[in-house]
């Protein structure tokens, strides 16, 4: 079995063919996928998916790129995280690629999510792009290591990965690791301890080879795991077993929820 630790099945590229997507997950032994909340306005659809399909779980958060949306308070996140299918807080973090002025509102939003995670005891799902130093600084200042979580779609250097690992976080690799020119990501894939590694699709984006440039979906996480296995000189089954165990160790309540 495999777990896709990060996908967006509520996005319009995928939302109209959920039954087909679930069927392809089953055909490829992908037994669980974590559906990520990106705004409070769209959370109802994410929760509906997780309520409908036992192999889907959910998170609650406001993505760092989102503007013009309802801002979440700690109380909002804590209340919404009480939903039985929600296992994490996020997607949260910092993105200076789209917000090059490094806005303070984005940093405050990130702090709010970390504080909510500490109140709930639920792990964080963290996005960082061109903001690694500030991301790690805020994680340390706000005590993110108390709950741990996932550095999702990791594209930073090994020293950044090591710093995140030192804070108790897992490193999740997307289809980018299958791109031959992604040398930094492939180095990280070689060096992350096997017991701290996760795989994801970030569907509908970042489809792995051989589907690069097409709409991604959770079934394709198998190609991520296969490529990581080749890089590390392991069998596919070793990587599948390890990343699945890592996911359920990070989210221990998820095993029962998915089995229901």
**Would you state the pLDDT for residue 260?**
52
Residue 108 CA to residue 23 CA, distance in Å, equals: 40
Residue 109, C-beta contacts closer than 8 angstroms, at least 6 positions apart? 62, 64, 71, 72, 92
Residue 125 CA to residue 36 CA, distance in Å, equals: 9
What are the residue ranges in the chain where pLDDT is below 70?
A: 259-260
**Would you state the pLDDT for residue 98?**
82
Q: What is the pLDDT of residues 11-55, one digit of tens each?
A: 999 999 999 999 999 999 999 999 999 999 999 999 999 999 999
Compute the C-alpha angle 168/170/174, nearest 5°: 160
125 bridge partner residues: 150
What does the H/E/C string look like for 119-152?
A: HHCCCEEEEEECCHHHHHHHHHHCCHHHCCEEEC
Query: E-assigned strands of 25-166?
Result: 30-35, 56-60, 86-95, 124-129, 149-151
Q: What is the pLDDT of residues 133-164, one digit of tens each?
A: 999 999 999 999 999 999 999 999 999 999 99
CA distance from start to end of the chain: 16
Contact indicator for 50, 38 with CB cutoff of 8 Å: no
Residue 218 CA to residue 1 CA, distance in Å, equals: 13
DSSP 184-231: HHHHHHHHS-GGGEEE---BTS-PPTTSTTS---GGGHHHHHHHHHHH
What tokens does 60 get? 């609650």
């Amino acid at each position: 079995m495999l777990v896709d630790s990060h996908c967006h099945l509520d996005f319009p590229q995928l939302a109209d063919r959920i039954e087909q997507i679930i069927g392809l997950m089953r055909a490829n032994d992908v037994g669980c996928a974590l559906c990520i909340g990106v705004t409070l306005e769209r959370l109802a659809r994410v929760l509906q998916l997780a309520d409908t399909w036992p192999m889907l779980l959910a998170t609650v958060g406001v993505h760092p790129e989102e503007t013009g949306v309802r801002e979440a308070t700690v109380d909002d996140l804590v209340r919404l995280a009480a939903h039985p299918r929600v296992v994490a807080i996020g997607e949260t973090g910092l993105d200076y690629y789209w917000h090059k002025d490094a806005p303070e509102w984005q940093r405050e939003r990130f702090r709010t999510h970390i504080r909510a995670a500490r109140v709930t005891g639920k792990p964080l799902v963290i996005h960082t792009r061109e903001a690694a130093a500030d991301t790690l600084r805020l994680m340390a200042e706000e005590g993110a290591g108390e709950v741990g979580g996932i550095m999702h779609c990791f594209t930073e250097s090994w020293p950044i990965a090591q710093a995140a690992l030192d804070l108790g976080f897992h490193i999740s690799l997307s289809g980018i690791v299958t791109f031959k020119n992604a040398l930094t990501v492939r180095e990280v894939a070689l060096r992350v301890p096997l017991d701290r590694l996760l795989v994801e699709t970030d569907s509908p984006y970042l489809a792995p080879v051989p589907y690069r440039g097409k709409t991604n979906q959770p079934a394709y996480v198998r190609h991520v795991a296969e490529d990581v296995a080749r890089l590390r000189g392991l069998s596919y089954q070793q990587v599948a077993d390890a990343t699945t165990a890592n996911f359920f160790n990070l989210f221990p309540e998820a095993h029962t929820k998915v089995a229901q």
